[in-house]
Amino acid sequence: DARVTQTPRHKVTEMGQEVTMRCQPILGHNTVFWYRQTMMQGLELLAYFRNRAPLDDSGMPKDRFSAEMPDATLATLKIQPSEPRDSAVYFCASGLGSFEQFFGPGTRLTVL
Amino acid sequence: KQEVTQIPAALSVPEGENLVLNCSFTDSAIYNLQWFRQDPGKGLTSLLLIQSSQREQTSGRLNASLDKSSGRSTLYIAASQPGDSATYLCAVTGGTSGSRLTFGEGTQLTVNP
């Protein structure tokens, strides 16, 4: 049963600390997305990769956020330094090209 | 900029009722439209994907239609069950948004036993 996995599932940290979230896309998928969900903004794209190359990171605050794909089986989203307004659920999704996207269970981040 | 709107924002129905959820989008140059389900505190489960060249897709009790020219999609749920209670999200790719999904705000569905 192929699925997207994300770690950690929950993270509580203090303002100013570094946070790293990890995602393992479905094997064979060449496109990986990072979305953020908040009550106020809903679901919004932060960044996405195709064949490990970043295609769009316009939704990401670049001064503190960074996204990478060290290899085809791992995507990371890093926040440094974290702020309370970063508290949200972060979802990773993967797909093949521009077709159906499959979402992971999310990382619920709380920054105190 | 693509905008997606879902109506109604919330819906409460008795078990067994057939229901329709609505989604509209402003830029008709989409690649595809995807319907998701989200349970409280959980991730998104893909329900149906409609390619821009298609008019509808069916899966079990679910039927989604797409009218690209008018910028509308509907999700029809037949014989609703309490287990269908969740938030249903509509999202599109394409146009100025490229491969990114642009989401609506969702319809929160409650099916009462």
pLDDT digits (tens, 9 = 90+) for A34-88: 999 998 889 999 999 999 999 888 889 889 999 999 999 999 999 999 999 999 9
Mean confidence (pLDDT) of chain A: 93
How confident is the model at residue B100, as a pLDDT?
Answer: 83
Closest residue by Cα to residue A55 from B102, B97, B32: B97
Closest CA to A17 of A94, A69, A71, A86: A86
End-to-end CA distance of chain B: 41
Tens-digit pLDDT profile for residues B83-104: 999 999 999 998 777 778 899 9
CA-nearest residue to B46 within chain A is A102
Specify which residues A19 forms β-bridges with: A79
Contact A98 B44 (CB under 8 A): no
Which residues in B lie closer than 8 A to residue A93 (C-beta atoms)? 44, 101
**What's residue B105's pLDDT?**
94
> CB–CB of A30/A51 below 8 Å?
yes
> Residue A25 gets which letter from DSSP?
P
> Would you say A75 and A26 are in contact if contact means Cβ atoms under 8 Å apart?
no
Could you tell me the pLDDT band of residue A1, with boundaries at 50, 70 and 90? low
A42/B44 Cβ within 8 A? no
- B65 pLDDT higher than 90: yes
Distance from CA of B54 to the nearest CA of A (A): 13
- Tell if the CB–CB gap between B98 and A55 is shorter than 8 Å: yes
Question: Is A42 within 8 Å of B105 when comparing Cβ atoms?
Answer: yes
pLDDT in tens, A10-29: 999 999 999 999 999 999 99
DSSP string, B25-87: ES---EEEEEEEEE-TTS-EEEEEEEETT-SEEEETTEEEEEETTTTEEEEEE-S--GGG-EE
